[in-house]
Structure formats: structure tokens, C-alpha cells
Amino acid sequence: MTRLALDHEAINLSQGFPDFEGPPFIVEAAVDALRAGHNQYARSQGHPTLVRAVAGHIERRSGLSYDPLTEVGVFSGCTEGLMSAMLGLLDPGDEVVFFEPFYDSYPACAAMAGAVPRYCPLRFPDFAVDLEHLESLFNERTRMLVLNTPHNPTGKVFDREELTAIGELCREHDVVVLSDEVYEQLVYDATHVSMAEIPGMRERTLALSSAGKTFSFTGWKIGWCTGPAPLVAAAQAAHQFVTFATATPLQVATAHALDACGAEFYDGLRAEYRARRDFLVDVLRRVGLRVAVPRGTYFVLADFRDLWEGDDVSFVRHLCTEHGVAAIPPSVFYKAEPEEGRRLVRFAFCKRMETLRAAAQRLEGLAK
């Protein structure tokens, strides 16, 4: 899509990266770290200042306390954390449960670990968890469930009740939860609850997050995990030989960002994203798309069938070549029920308001 967008000078609402800069004081912290000589390999499990900052951040957010030296790990982005956790915790033949649609690295990680994926669909437009279906996927080979809340690409934020029900199944079947929470700060009409906060789940949840979305530096690739020491150690065992250590000066700068940012920063971030979300949702509705209003993340899924008879790939091609707006065909995020995704389109709204306004003007052409 990015290539097609470039060829057609399209406004790129496809891939999820901001077209604006993150906070300048964090960039300054990175420059300071480089100049202060934080330029050699970091501790493989994470720079001491960052693991301490992560533990502090999680404690402030959820009240959960983690030992920085044994219960926190650092990775080159959440993506490497996902890979290391699956390599470290899954044996060939183990089964792993994903919700569908999924962040596309999940099945790839499972494949590289030799694990067998099972999919539980979240269906447009409410993306409710079908607990009966979920339960039917569990058996004696099930080792892990991968959760993503707030959820890409649906914008769903799992609530406490759903997490409790999912957690019960995991406890019953002695299953570990890998909880991808990279959008933890981007929630609008909901509260982010981590699976680790559900009673009885801290001891079987490895939670992952990263600096990319929260601080608008997706290119930094600084990620972390928190969880009980044996789960962190398993992910670390793989990380040791996947990347060994993550960029030292950016770890130091991220530690500074986590220590410095409090409620005021996160509230401001959410307010900006809420305005972008509301603007885009309104435009998409006006031009005739059926929208599932996201409660979290910076993505929105919409059903285009009132406007277009083909599948999602043909629709996004048309949107890009004829209207100059690039989006993602979500069928790539489905394995079990790809037809669910073939009627949908995903837009990213992590863009400046002027980018969104320019996209809106072009999207108006769809209504004609």
C-alpha cells in the first residue's frame, strides 16, 4: 500500500505511524544520552534505568508492582518481545489461541516457534468475544493465549468482565497469557485494564508494551515486558540470541520519558487522538461507510459494502488510485474467516489534523 500510495501521491492512512514528531524533550534526552556516552551494549535484560522506569510506570498505572531486575525485560520493540516470548514459551506442537483479526506478526511468531495457531473471531461491528467458541479452542495442548487490548485493528478495548471470563478459561487450562498492550494510553470511551490486574492472572500474564505509540516514536523500537520471573526469563532466553541487547541511548531516553510523563501528558495525548478519531469517524460516516467507532488505538474499521461491490483489496486499490487515499485491506489480519475482512477497510488516524482534513476532502469523492 505504501508503494501504491507513493505512486499515486495518495494521503497515507494505511500504516500506523504518526506523521508528526513526539515530544521534543524526549528527543533531547536521547541526544543527551548519546553525548553522555551511553553508547555500548546495554544489559541484555534491559538498561537498569529503563527496567526501573517501566516498573514505576506500571505501578502508577495499575498498582501492580514488579521487581525491575527479575520481572521486567526490554526488547527491540514489542514486536521482538512477542517473538522472544513465543520462542521462549512455546514448544513445537503447542497450541496458541489468537483473537482474529490479529496484528499480523502473531501467526508468524507462532510459526517460527513451531506452534499451532487457533483463532477466535471478533466480528464486526461490536467485536464481542464468543466465549463458547473460545472455550472450544482449548485442549490439553493449549499453552498460550495472545491478547491485544486496546486491539488493532478493531479499536476494541476488552473490559473487566471479558478479561475475567477469558482469564478463568486460562486458569482452568493452565494457559499463559501474552498481553500486547502497546496502545495502553490510547483509550477514549473506556479504561484500559491489563489482564495482569484480573485476580489470579498476574502470575500467568506476560504483558508487553513499547514507546512507539505512547511517545509517537515508532522508529525507536524500544519495548518491554512485565510478568512473573519465570515468564520473563523464558522470553529473555530467546532475546539473548535474537538481538542480545537493545539500543542503549534510546533505552536511557525512554526511561526519562516514562519517569517524566504523568497524567497530564497522557490526558493531552488522549484528547488529541480523540479529536482525530471523532473527525475521521464523522467523515467516513458522511461518505457512506458503516463505522465501528474505536474505543482505543489509532485505527478505525469500516464496512464499505454500501459503496463498493468488490472485496477489500479492490476497494483500497480504488480508493488509492481514484481518490488518492491509502488504507489497509484487513483480510490480511484474518486466517479462519477471511470473508469477515473482505468487506472492511482500515484507516489509521495517527496523523496531523491537516493530513486528516486533506484526506477528508478526497474521501468526499466517494459519496458522489
Return residues touching ligand PMP (CB under 6 A).
16, 77-79, 103, 148, 152, 180, 182, 210, 212, 218, 221, 223
Q: How far apart are CA 24 and CA 217, in angstroms?
A: 11
Instruction: Choose between 49 and 210: whose C-beta lies nearer to ligand PMP.
Output: 210
Cα–Cα nearest to 235, from 247, 246, 249 = 246
CB 15 to ligand PMP: min, Å: 8
Instruction: Choose between 103 and 315: whose C-beta lies nearer to ligand PMP.
Output: 103
CB 181 to ligand PMP: min, Å: 9
Q: How far apart are CA 117 and CA 120, in angstroms?
A: 10
CB 147 to ligand PMP: min, Å: 10
Nearest residue (beta carbon) to ligand PMP:
77
Q: How far apart are CA 368 and CA 357, in angstroms?
A: 18
Instruction: Choose between 182 and 287: whose C-beta lies nearer to ligand PMP.
Output: 182
Residues with Cβ < 8 Å from 285, sequence gap 6 or more?
A: 291
Instruction: Choose between 194 and 218: whose C-beta lies nearer to ligand PMP.
Output: 218
CB 178 to ligand PMP: min, Å: 11
Backbone angles phi, psi at 178, to 5 degrees: -100, 115
CB 152 to ligand PMP: min, Å: 4
Instruction: Choose between 148 and 331: whose C-beta lies nearer to ligand PMP.
Output: 148
Instruction: Choose between 207 and 287: whose C-beta lies nearer to ligand PMP.
Output: 207
CB 293 to ligand PMP: min, Å: 18
Dump strand ranges (E) for the chain: 11-12, 72-75, 95-100, 116-121, 142-148, 176-180, 205-210, 223-226, 290-292, 299-303, 325-326, 344-348
Dump strand ranges (E) for 113-259: 116-121, 142-148, 176-180, 205-210, 223-226
